[in-house]
Amino acid sequence: MPAHARKLNADVLPSARPELRLVASRPRAAKLHLLTYILGSAIFWMLWAALSVSADDWYSWLVVPFAAWTTVLALHVWHAYRIPRGSEPGAGSA
C-alpha cells in the first residue's frame, strides 16, 4: 500500500477513536455470520438426510441446534445494525 493511501486511511479512521473501527466492522461480521449460518445449515440438512435415510429413522435432532443458532444470529444482526442510544438524529438537542 502506498504511503499516501496509508495516511489517507489514518485520517479517515484515526487511531485515537478505535471504537469507530469496531462499530464499522459490526455489519461485516454479521454478514459473515449469516453466510456461515447458511452454509452450516446446508451441511447439517444434508447430514441429517443422509443419516435418516441410512438409519430409517427420521428423528428431528436439528431443531435444538437450529433454534439456538438462529437466536444467536438474530441477536448478532440486531447488535450490528442497531443505532446506539444518543446518536439518533435530534438526540440531545433541546
pLDDT in tens, 26-51: 888 889 999 999 999 999 889 888 88
pLDDT in tens, 53-75: 888 877 777 888 889 999 999 99
Other beta carbons within 10 angstroms of residue 73's beta carbon come to: 15
The Cα–Cα gap between 13 and 28 comes to 16
Overall pTM > 0.95:
no
